[in-house]
Structure 1
Amino acid sequence: MTTVAAVSANFTRDLEQNYALIGALVDEARDRGVELLVLPEAAIGGYLSSLGNHGDTVRTTTRSLPPAVRLDGPEIARVQALAGDVVVAIGFCEQGEDDDTRYNAAALLDGGQVYGSYRKVHQPLGEHMSYAAGGSYGVFDTPVGRVGLQICYDKAFPEAARSMALDGAEVVASLSAWPAARTATAADLQEDRWTYRFNLLDAARALDNQVFWVASNQSGTFGSLRYVGNAKVVDPGGAVLATTGLGAGMAVADIDVAGTFAAMRGGMFHLRDRRPDAYDVDRTWDPAASVRGAGRQEVLAGA
């Protein structure tokens, strides 16, 4: 058995507050026997303060942007010192190879090694004004098995998780700063439509690929964003094993990778039963075709 945990917590621009919180969460995880701890997107320095057409940009913002750090810099080394023997997935703003480029990134590490890192590929609602996009997904061998990384909006794209599953991922760490809807927000955030989508996508991606899914998220508020929490651990059948709900906390679950895979993949095994020959994977989205298709549907509906 392997004990894994997903965190819901609030991280801001205050780095010392961030490190203190990371240290407290790692200590709690260690006390609870956790071997893989998934912290949220932007746990070092916080996320953007707004999104959409009025989102932050590197050159024009009057707000503070997350500090950009390098993978081999002192900030990540400090997290490693806190992690010790716990494998930690953590989100941060990565300084690119030049001083002008930033990436929304995540690293997988413990006290002795950085096992891998990832730069967010899919960007929502103006995030491109602050970050460059990554271009690939990786799966990394760790003491807790083969772990894939993705960030927030990535979970809306089945191809992202599928590529990691095909690369042998047993666990996908999905780090988020996922907010509530910007308009017509529900009075009870647990009933908000963006909370619903967050939870639905976590279960769907786990079930699609029959992998364990460990989903963290920010909680509370930052700038104009109000986060929905709901960090969770999902099994390969799409069942939620543990969740934090809306509040801050740690969702902890014991998972048996080999035993669960044997049981759930022993019959219908989605990766084995794929038919790539039937998929037009090279087709790109054609907006004009979408409009024509909508017109055809209207004609059929009128008939």
Structure 2
Amino acid sequence: MTIRVAAVQFEAGQDIGANLATCLRLVTDAARQGAQLVVLPEFCNHLAWYTDRAQAHALATRPGDDFLTAISASAAEHRVYIKINVTHAYPDGRTGGTNFLFGPDGTLLGSCDKQVLMGAENDHLDPATEVGPVLDTPIGRLGMYACMEGVIPETTRGLTLRGAQVLLNSLNSFATDEAALHIPVRAAENRAWVIAANKVGPLLPAEHLPAMSRGLGVPEQWLHGAGESQIVAPDGTVLAKGPRTGEAVVIADIAPERADDKHRPDGSDILAARRPELYGPLGDAPTGRRRPPSAPSLPVAV
């Protein structure tokens, strides 16, 4: 079975309504090109910049809110699967970097929080307390993850071991090695399809870019999303890739069942060759936050 999939890249700012309009417009574009599955970038609802945890929680999505309801309606309107990542507020006060998959009738098929947070995300968000599901759908077995979870191997390997054929990666990354290294390597080492959608445009508020650029000693453009959203085959071949800058809808046709063959070119099987007794703790279930997100102050010296 062959399906058409799309990885969508765009800029998201601090206007939640404008971000939603961009999501809906580009899902429509992908659907018009025949996509049956559309993957959107990480933190689609709001620029990942907050003054504190309270603001991050206040601006996050909630069950049944306008943002998620509109994404659900778009999935039903176009009869497509939509994978999205947003900040999401839970009733117990936690705020997740949350993946959602909506089915072609608008039903929420599954969700999971980001297990591995990066940088200031640790100050504003809460890590997952359980692994994400593998969703068995008519178009294949789908697993979801986000950004930093694709830099390390454990999250995608766990999804592969639980049967995922197609790995859906939403990114909010300025790192150029995502496209050149991490995304295709996660596909090849797991013999699985990867659909990766990244941001473009500033990843910080525009008014802070000059000062951050000076402080870090890097040009402002390196604080923009790195783009190059892509669709990668189980052997690591990049079938389609977006540009480094600018909006794009990246389209490719894939055969999910190809991911069921876990043999390397030398005939060895990547899963049969595992030796988990050597790294057992890495396979333990996530525990969530064990300590506060940061110290109130930190004395330093140079």
Common fold by TM > 0.5: yes
Closer, same or farther in 2 for the Cα pair 1:283/1:264, shift >3 Å?
A: closer
Q: Which residue of 2 aligns with 1:275?
A: 275
User: In structure 2, which of residues 66, 86, 100 is the aligned counterpart of residue 107 of structure 1?
Assistant: 100
Contact 2:139 2:256 in 1 (8 A): no
CA deviations on 1:15-43 (whole Å, 9 max, x unpaired) are 22122212211211111110110000011
Give the letter for the 1:108 counterpart.
Answer: L
Bigger shift: 260-269 or 239-248? 260-269
What SS is found at the alignment partner of 2:189? Answer: helix
**Is it true that 1:217 corresponds to 2:198 in the alignment?**
yes
Structure 2 CA distance, aligned partners of 1:212 and 1:27? 23
Distance of 1:66 and 1:242 partners within structure 2: 37
1:233 pairs with 219, 226, 231, which one? 231
SS in 1 for 2:42: coil
CA contact (8 A) 1:237 1:264 kept: no
Unaligned 5+ residue runs, structure 2? 210-222, 284-302
Pair 38,66 (structure 1): closer, same or farther in 2 beyond 3 Å: farther
Q: SS at 1:104's partner residue?
A: strand
Q: Distance between the aligned counterparts of 1:131 and 1:276, measured in 2?
A: 30
Which of 102, 120, 123 is residue 126 of structure 1 equivalent to? 120
1:264 Cα deviation after fit: 5.8
- 1:93-120: CA deviation from partner (whole Å, max 9, x where unpaired): 110122x321111101034311111111
Partner of 1:254: 253
Is 1:71–2:63 an aligned residue pair? yes
Partners of 1:43 and 1:94 in 2: CA distance? 11
Structure 1 equivalent of residue 296 of structure 2:
none
Change (3 A) 1:76 1:121: same
How far apart are the structure 2 equivalents of 1:93 and 1:260? 30
Q: How does 1:182-201 map to 2 (within 5 A)?
A: 194-201=175-182
Equivalent position SS for 2:145: strand
Indicate conservation of the 8 Å contact 2:84/2:99, yes or no.
yes
- SS of match in other structure, 2:24: helix
Does the 8 A contact of 1:177 with 1:227 survive in 2?
Answer: yes
Q: 1:26 to 1:138 in 2, by over 3 A?
A: same
Helix, strand or coil for the counterpart of 1:282? helix
32, 52, 56: which is aligned to 1:57?
Answer: 52
TM-score (structure 2 length as normaliser):
0.79
- Rounded to whole Å, the distance in 1 between the matches of 2:26 and 2:124 is 28
Task: Trace 1:145-164 onto structure 2 (pairs within 5 A).
Answer: 145-164=140-159
Work out the CA distance in 1 between the residues paired with 2:253 and 2:282.
41
Deviations 1:169-213 (A, max 9, x none): 01010101002xxxxxxxxxxxxxx30244301111101110000
Alignment check: 8 A CA contact 1:165 1:209 kept: yes
Change (3 A) 1:263 1:18: same
Contact 1:178 1:227 in 2 (8 A): yes
SS for the counterpart of 1:207 is helix
User: What is the SS of the residue equivalent to 2:30?
Assistant: helix
Q: Structure 1-normalised TM-score?
A: 0.79
**Would the alpha carbon gap of residues 232 and 66 (structure 1) be closer, same or farther in structure 2, given more than 3 Å must change?**
farther
Q: CA deviation at 1:127?
A: 1.3
Note if contact 2:165-2:257 (Cα within 8 Å) is conserved in structure 1.
Answer: no
Q: How many residues matched?
A: 259
**One-letter code aligned to 1:162:** R
